[in-house]
Amino acid sequence: MTFFEELKWRGLIKDISSDELEDKLNNDKLTFYIGADPTAESLHIGQFPTFLMVERLKRAGHKPIILVGGATGRVGDPRGTGEREKADIAVIEKNFGKIKEQMRKLFGNDVTIVNNFDWFKDMNLIDFLRDVGKYVNVSYMLSKDLVKRQLDIGISYAEFSYMLIQGYDFKELHDKYGVNLQFGGSDQWGNLTTGIELIRKLNNEEVYAFSMPLTTDSEGNKLGKSYGNALWLDKEKTSSYELYQYMLNFEDVMIEDYLKKFTFLSKDEIDNIMKEHNEKPELRLAQKKLAEEVISFVHDKESYLEAVKISESLFSGDIKSFTGKQIEEAFKGIDAFKINEEMNIIDLLVNVGICSSKREAREFVNNSSISLNGEKVTDLDFVVTRDKLIEEKYIVIRRGKKKYYVGTME
């Protein structure tokens, strides 16, 4: 396959601005850019295939520039579902630093990272209307899908003008850095083509753009932060273990599509993985391979191996080998109990709500259904002392086969 054919096979191309782009991607060395608004501290999993395109294009010999939109983040782009809340400028500036650091980690120091606030901060409204607004027809702007969808529920002039700002970004980067290609998610198509129009009219030059399909689940729901079903790529916001568990539960019907979009695995490799997966889908081999590839790229190989260790230890009940940090990762999001003193196991089970009564607690212990930090508790007189805790602090109680409770002794 040519480079372009591979992108099509992976399902990474939706719209292209010109038929010439295929040949240019295969044979030329383009300078491209992608933008991210710092409305959050991190990219999320739904954005990952789009930003992974930076690395794909780099490996094909094209030169990357990443724009973190300190200006556009202040405005907000139309979503088609309603007006965004006004962004807090201090938060935007803080997030810019976080996103920039994340981009460096993902794509290396050879990637140029720019902030569009640098060229917009000194531009006044009259200059913008004269130098940009004059060249974009309102009917053209109204024809864009997200704008049309939001007109029925109301769209502010600020969000309506977003495509002009992004269009000017393309021109600024074209003039300063020689950028001749922009790409983004398919919901950005109107903004991508606005830049092409401006450069065509003001520079009398042809530049290019392509869009990528949005990453969705089998029901067409976006894997995005606004939809409540996404995880962050920042290790501090979403641990490697959380990311591993999230991908382990991806639907079988979507997993081949995700392997193509989220990884650099070849067609032969993916075909072999899917063959093995379909023979024994209960083993979730494809999901595990996806998790390995993604976590190793966005975090590191050691973090992936740590996530596997935590997962396997939880499955086997081997809690005693955990560190305090691993406990915090494995049970993140679970309400933790606290105790202030050593106590009998029966009293503990009742006091923290694991059992509803002392009678029930005794039944669980007598039936060998209670484990504390990986060890079965069968003695009704067992006392939970600090020396029995992990790092003399952490308490992990398993009731039955799967129900876990976590706490600390202060």
Return the CATH number at 177.
3.40.50.620
Residues 69 and 176 in one domain: yes
Whether the pLDDT of residue 203 is over 70: the answer is yes
Question: Whole-number mean pLDDT of the chain?
Answer: 92
Distance, in Å, from the CA atom of 352 to the CA atom of 99, rounded to the nearest integer, reads 41
Highest mean pLDDT among 18-32, 142-156, 302-316: 18-32
The pLDDT of residue 318? 85
Residues 258 and 377 in one domain: no
Residues 188 and 247 in one domain: no
Residues 399 and 368 in one domain: yes
- Look at the alpha carbons of 222, 226, 228, 229 in this order and tell me if their dihedral is positive or negative: positive
Whether the pLDDT of residue 274 is over 90: the answer is yes
**Residue 223 located in a structural domain:** no
Residues 257 and 390 in one domain: no
Whether the pLDDT of residue 78 is over 70: the answer is yes
| Listed residues 257, 286, 316: the one ending a domain | 316
The pLDDT of residue 229? 55
Residues 88 and 25 in one domain: yes
Q: Which carries the bigger pLDDT value, residue 291 or residue 86?
A: 291
**Residue 30 located in a structural domain:** yes
Tokens representing 283 are 């083993």
Domain limits at 371? 337-409
Indicate the helix (H) or strand (E) that contains 326.
Answer: helix 324-330
**Residue 130 located in a structural domain:** yes
Residues 172 and 275 in one domain: no
Distance, in Å, from the CA atom of 30 to the CA atom of 68, rounded to the nearest integer, reads 20
Residues 21 and 162 in one domain: yes
Q: In total, how many domains does the chain have?
A: 3
Place 388 in a pLDDT band, splitting at 50, 70 and 90.
very high
Residues 303 and 397 in one domain: no
Q: Which carries the bigger pLDDT value, residue 333 or residue 235?
A: 235
Q: Which carries the bigger pLDDT value, residue 80 or residue 393?
A: 393
The pLDDT of residue 6? 98
Residues 104 and 144 in one domain: yes
The pLDDT of residue 58? 97
Distance, in Å, from the CA atom of 301 to the CA atom of 110, rounded to the nearest integer, reads 22
Whether the pLDDT of residue 216 is over 60: the answer is yes
Whether the pLDDT of residue 226 is over 60: the answer is no
The pLDDT of residue 31? 98
Distance, in Å, from the CA atom of 116 to the CA atom of 73, rounded to the nearest integer, reads 10
Residues 267 and 388 in one domain: no
Whether the pLDDT of residue 155 is over 90: the answer is no
Residues 263 and 180 in one domain: no
